[in-house]
């Protein structure tokens, strides 16, 4: 997988798998991320049981979540790669070298400069794993392009109660050179049964949004799903307008 996707933003899938898969080796501790403040128990309930319904005035919030997903959500694809403590894995053309994992975390060196550190803990009974990843001027490259990454991300894997989900919360900034543009990616979402779901606040609660592979955030064109408290609807948009139909609600967006 390449370092950058077609929009000039980073392609995160392999990166996220590499960084977070080592959490599976964690042990001891409580069920909150070390150094993090996210309430993953509450977030789990939000993703498992959305409380809102769908309304035409929610369009801006839905499109914002879809834009976040298309630029950053591949970060959460944990199942793509096994744990990598002590090894080197290639991202783009530059590998990240990770030291041996301890009971509390792992440190990885970005070969373009900088590092990323991860701390993690497992809850009693192995029902969840949580942790925090910090990116400190981590520089990666592909061809003549480079990305300088900073920021922090907390995460949790929750297997009980089902369904199994990986929840992510945090903000990453990346400076892409050329042209030297800095972008911010808000990674507040969950992977549920392998599908990325963004929780979106609406007027009467929250709904879950997931884009299909055809979604184009530059023109707001393509298909996506919205899961409300009543079920899931499929939405088709062209240039920011369209319809959602299904158990989750049938709404026309102009």
In a domain? residue 221 = yes
pLDDT at position 123: 60
Mean pLDDT of the 238-249 span: 96
pLDDT at 128 over 90: no
pLDDT at 96 over 50: yes
Q: Pick the residue with more confidence: 109 or 39?
A: 109
Residue pointed to by tokens 């900073």 = 150
pLDDT in tens, 208-235: 999 876 788 889 999 999 999 999 999 9
In a domain? residue 8 = no
pLDDT in tens, 61-70: 999 888 766 5
CB distance 30 to 121 below 8 Å: yes
Average pLDDT over all residues of the chain: 73
In a domain? residue 153 = yes
pLDDT band at 23 (very low <50, low <70, confident <90, very high): very low
Mean pLDDT of the 195-216 span: 88
In a domain? residue 4 = no
In a domain? residue 218 = yes
pLDDT at 26 over 60: no
In a domain? residue 5 = no
What are the CA-CA distances from residue 154 to residues 40, 72, 226 (Å)? Answer: 10, 15, 25
pLDDT band at 237 (very low <50, low <70, confident <90, very high): very high
pLDDT at 236 over 90: yes
Percent of the chain residues topping a pLDDT of 90: 26
pLDDT at position 83: 32
Total domains present in the chain: 1
In a domain? residue 2 = no
Best-predicted range by mean pLDDT (25-29, 80-84, 103-107, 145-149): 145-149
pLDDT at position 196: 84
pLDDT in tens, 153-177: 888 888 877 888 888 888 888 888 8
Mean pLDDT of the 28-36 span: 35
| pTM recorded for the entire structure | 0.65
| Range(s) of the domain holding residue 179 | 13-253
In a domain? residue 154 = yes
């Amino acid at each position: 997988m390449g370092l950058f996707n077609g929009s000039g933003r980073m392609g995160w899938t392999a990166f996220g798998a590499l960084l977070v898969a080592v959490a599976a080796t964690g042990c001891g501790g409580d069920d909150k991320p070390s150094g993090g403040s996210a309430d993953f128990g509450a977030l789990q309930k939000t993703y498992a049981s959305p409380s809102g319904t769908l309304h035409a005035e929610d369009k801006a919030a839905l499109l914002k979540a879809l834009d976040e997903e298309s630029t950053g959500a591949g970060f959460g694809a944990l199942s793509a790669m096994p744990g990598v403590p002590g090894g080197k894995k290639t991202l783009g053309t530059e590998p990240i070298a990770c030291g041996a994992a301890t009971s509390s975390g792992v440190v990885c060196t970005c070969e373009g400069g900088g590092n990323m550190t991860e701390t993690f803990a497992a809850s009693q009974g192995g029902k969840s794993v949580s942790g925090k990843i910090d990116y400190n001027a981590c520089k990666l490259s592909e061809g003549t392009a480079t990305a300088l990454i900073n920021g922090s991300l907390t995460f949790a894997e929750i297997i009980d109660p089902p369904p199994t989900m990986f929840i992510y919360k945090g903000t990453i900034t990346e400076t892409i050179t050329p042209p030297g543009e800095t972008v911010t990616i808000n990674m507040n979402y969950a992977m549920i049964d392998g599908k990325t779901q963004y929780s979106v606040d609406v007027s009467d609660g929250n709904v879950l949004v997931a884009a299909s592979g055809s979604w184009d955030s530059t023109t707001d064109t393509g298909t996506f799903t919205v899961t409300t408290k009543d079920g899931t609807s499929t939405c088709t948009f062209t240039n920011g307008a369209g319809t959602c139909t299904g158990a989750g609600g049938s709404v026309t967006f102009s």
